[in-house]
Structure 1
């Protein structure tokens, strides 16, 4: 082998190592990358990872559920070709036992901080593709959550999350759910500025649900083909849900039909719905061709919650609406201080909101 050939091979090896984020050599200072291939255990690599480490999943299909409790680690695939599906054997951990694909779970007295889940597909789980509870600064990006039984991506009891450039499609309930608590009723909690942006939500029961939360932004998402596009949900508990910014989203043709549930009537043709929320801003959205006959159908709808909580002091401004039915803007609430200004639309209930 010539010196030139040896130098070429060394260069290629260095480039591959850099591309994969390979682990540093023995004795080097820095964080580790734990590379996992199909047939190997993701959970084993996650359990071995220290804060700051990356668990890198190569392309292929993995049959397991993964529970992350270590702060500061990154669980990353190679894109949609890295697929996590349910195991065919007995549940190995609580994440699997509850029907979830990837779980990021903090302790009762301390949130798990700085975890990232990125660039992979989770599909076929009976509950949720990616589920998080008691997290601080969780990032979920470039994740495809498809055909999971309940939610595509869901988070509760958490703050300062970032959900960016994900695809959630054909999940049983919301493609993306953010909530104070999933199982109990309580007043809204402050998310510390959680951001939901540049996601694509298709074919779910609801594209995005924000339930009993305050202080977050839902921006520049593409929401189509669901039974309902977006819900901002509150109730009679204090503090009320609100201080949510919903801006610059494309919410179109959410006309899939879904039967009623214990919580909601049958859904079809809802664009953006606020129930029991306060002090929120809905602005700059394009809301088109959402058509249905339920009491929640229409382009942007204010509706008192099903426990009677009203919307208060919400601002609906500078949105573009067209082709929604029964109307582009609907205020079916008796709450005080809700304003509609600068919107481009053709029909409203009551008249005069456009």
Structure 2
């Protein structure tokens, strides 16, 4: 276990109370949930600005949060949320009508298209074993997720769509079926990239997932100071044919190491193995100060930092790859599959091999 891994665990255990949490007003209540009691019942009883503290123990339920300003906080990794032993699914068929549990999710933070749910905090607990997503936010603003361990969930560990100005810090996403952390404009609709107004993903440990972090069709977002290791692919920044394109993002100061797990192909992607940081269908993205080592494979996306056309053959344009330290990546440390005319720039990187030659 590295010092960085220990930092994440220590931060969660110590509650890291200063990370983005506003001081409670004297008018705000703290509701405490003990083993055997219902988290959802306490959440339903909470008013905006209240805090629901979940004591150590295993709770077999899913939780839906729609109250603005609510803090849902465990006391560390020992607060564990798992699926109910049996979820009763009614006759409803539309996804929007189903409950968080029926959708296979652990915690759902849910706003509407017209009224996002604002200032919700999810912190200091383990969410594990759900068939779909550990923590999912739809239509959120100023969401704060920190000190959460999302482990062995069927699809994504932590995820969001149609959300702005979120913060993900000091979380652990491990052994999830797809991305450890997934951020998108919309999961279901094909549309242009949307502005997150400064979403931040930093100081997270993302390991043994299919992809460590996926950023899809978004703009104005920062992924920095994360440890990304043991996945099939480390960081994927994804665009498509819609406008505006994904881009105006920053991927900085991450440790992207030995993402060499093998994942079979899907309907949209070839098999994955040995991918460090991949930009596909993006523009004006800055990749800087990252340490990218030991990512090796024979996938079309394999290599240290890879720039490639999107699944629908949209070009990657005017991205800047600067001041990264790369070594031991195969087939090369830096790979640019775009033509020179697309204006991707490689400057001041420390590396040994590139495709085409001359990028190091």
Aligned-partner Cα distance in 1 for 2:161–2:347? 33
What is the CA deviation profile of residues 111-161 of structure 1, one whole-angstrom value per residue up to 9, with x for unaligned ones? 000000000000000000000000000000000000000000000000000
Shift of 1:30: 2.0
Q: Does 1:33 align with 2:30?
A: yes
> In structure 2, which of residues 316, 319, 323 is the aligned counterpart of residue 314 of structure 1?
319
Q: TM-score with structure 2 length normalisation?
A: 0.90
Matches within 5 A, 1:127-166: 127-166=132-171
- 1:80 corresponds to 2:80: no
Of 191, 201, 209, the match for 2:196:
191
Cα distance in 1, alignment partners of residues 41 and 269 from structure 2: 41
State the distance in 1 between where 2:292 and 2:190 align: 31
Q: In the TM superposition, what whole-angstrom CA distance separates every residue of 1:209-259 from its partner, at most 9, and x where no partner exists? A: 000000000000000000000000001100000001000000000000000
Question: Aligned pair 1:351/2:348, yes or no?
Answer: no
More deviation, 92-101/204-213: 92-101
| Counterpart in the other structure of 2:343 | 337
TM-score by length of 1: 0.91
Q: 2 CA distance for matches of 1:90 and 1:276?
A: 40
Displacement, 1:29?
Answer: 4.0
Number of residue pairs aligned between Structure 1 and Structure 2 = 328
Instruction: Measure the CA separation in 1 of the matches of 2:88 and 2:67.
Output: 21
- Give the match's secondary structure for 2:52: strand
Match of 2:276 among 271, 276, 289: 271
Consecutive unaligned residues in structure 1, runs of 5 or more: 1-23
Superposed counterparts of 1:71-220, under 5 Å: 71-91=68-88, 94-220=99-225
Q: Which residue of 1 aligns with 2:48?
A: 51
CA shift, 1:263, in A, is 1.3
Larger radius of gyration: 1
RMSD value, Cα: 1.2
1:68 has 2:74 as partner: no
User: 2:255 and 2:26 mapped to 1: Cα distance?
Assistant: 46
Distance 2:192 2:36 in 1: 44
- 2:39 corresponds in structure 1 to 42
* Distance in structure 2 (CA, Å) of the matches to 1:116 and 1:333: 41
